[in-house]
Amino acid sequence: MVTDPGAATVVALSGNPRAGSRTSLVARAVAERVAGLAGSAEIVAVELADLAPYLFAAERPGVDATLTTVAASTVLVVATPVYKASYTGLLKSFLDLYGTNGLAGVTAVPVVVSGSPAHSLAGEVHLRPLLVELGASVPTRALAVTESQLAQLDDVVDRWFVTAAPLLRPAFARSGGPPADPETEGRP
């Protein structure tokens, strides 16, 4: 999946059980904004919906390759729709395939997409602890996007990014990517 193993990589992981979802759109928007910190980071989009039939198969080369790509990412954007006030079972099933510290060295960004602002804390309360349990560093607040905000997605991501950018920049410094220009990183 990754074409240059030495380059900084931002993975946009969508835990929506439907490929091409609004969750995927949000994950990609966040990944693109975050990749801008490195200047030339590769963005890899992962749709767990495409892997769902193979998650529990005895032979699962596509799943195993994706697990490796995700664990090798510089920054991992983990996006999920809010289901029953939490993340999807599909996302949980995928992440359960990692052992303790399976995401060590990865900087993760939790993202939730919900129908109601009442679910805005799902990323902080449920998704962040899961990512930390797997060894990921989660330096930013989770980004919560409601369906009513999707029409202004760029603005929503930009507002979040103003405070997230300085916290994410060190991930790219560790990967050897070029430092971002602090004068322009918070601007759209």
Angle (CA) 68 71 76, round 5°: 125
E-strand ranges in the chain read: 9-14, 42-47, 75-81, 107-114, 143-146
For residue 147, pLDDT over 80 is answered with yes
pTM of the model: 0.89
Condensed to tens digits (0 to 9), the pLDDT of residues 85-124 reads 889 999 999 999 999 899 999 999 999 999 888 888 899 9
What's the CATH number of domain 9-171, 3.40.50.450, 3.40.50.360, 3.50.50.60, 3.40.50.2300? 3.40.50.360
Q: Which two tokens stand for residue 142?
A: 């989770």
Span of 5-9, 159-163, 180-184 with lowest mean pLDDT: 180-184
Tokens 């966040």 -> residue: 30
Per-residue confidence (pLDDT) for residue 187, from 0 to 100: 39
Q: Which of 159, 91, 85 is nearest to 125 (CA)?
A: 85
Distance CA 81, CA 144 (A): 10
Q: Where are the domains of the chain?
A: 9-171
